[in-house]
Amino acid sequence: MEHRIKNEIYSWLKAIVLGLIIAMIVKVFLFSSYIVKGESMMPTLQDGNHMIINKVNYEFSQPNHGDIIIFHATPTKDYVKRVIGLPGDTIEYKNDQLYRNGKPVAEPYLDQYKKELESGFLTADFTLKALTGKTRVPKGKLWVMGDNRLISSDSRKPWIGFVDQKEVVGKVSFRLKPFTDFK
């Protein structure tokens, strides 16, 4: 009887340790949680939203236009932004309209803020050439912008500029909290 209890306890301990090891592997290599700090991605993401980040997505595929990503902006800070330009793309903003490779691009996630504007534009006019001296997004780089264009520190800022794809932590898979905004 005593031997059976010891075996049962040992089996439970093995299962718990194995579960913890699997959870650590998933957290370190596959998925991670992230809390939004700031308002640069409003109205899409709010300050304090909890998100799950897919860390392996870009190991097997490339980012897409419109993906929301987390990247290392500085050695101590990660930023959450939307991918606007991929390698080879030309990017221009004119009269509050995004043009990618010379074609207008719909950005429905900006509609709320555009409606709330009393005057002026949500996104100031620019070209890649004027901001960076380059006409296209370089190989291995991304052009990212926050959805709250009036306050976002993003690729338009010289200290961020093009984001190296090696600095991308992962793609935002879904928002966990608040539960009323689960997407």
Is 81 labeled as catalytic in the residue annotation?
yes
Question: Cα separation of 103 and 65, whole Å?
Answer: 14
Q: Calculate the alpha carbon distances from 106 to 97, 103, 110 in Å.
A: 8, 10, 9
Q: Is residue 41 a contact partner of residue 156, using CB atoms and an 8 Å limit?
A: no
Alpha helices in the chain (DSSP H): 2-25, 57-60, 111-116, 128-132
Catalytic residue (one of 40, 55, 152, 171): 40
Is 40 labeled as catalytic in the residue annotation?
yes
DSSP per-residue string spanning 104-145: EE--GGGHHHHHH-SSS-SS--EEHHHHHS-SSPPTTEEEEE
Q: Is residue 45 a contact partner of residue 177, using CB atoms and an 8 Å limit?
A: no
Question: Cα separation of 121 and 94, whole Å?
Answer: 10
Catalytic residue (one of 55, 81, 141, 171): 81
Active site residues: 40, 81
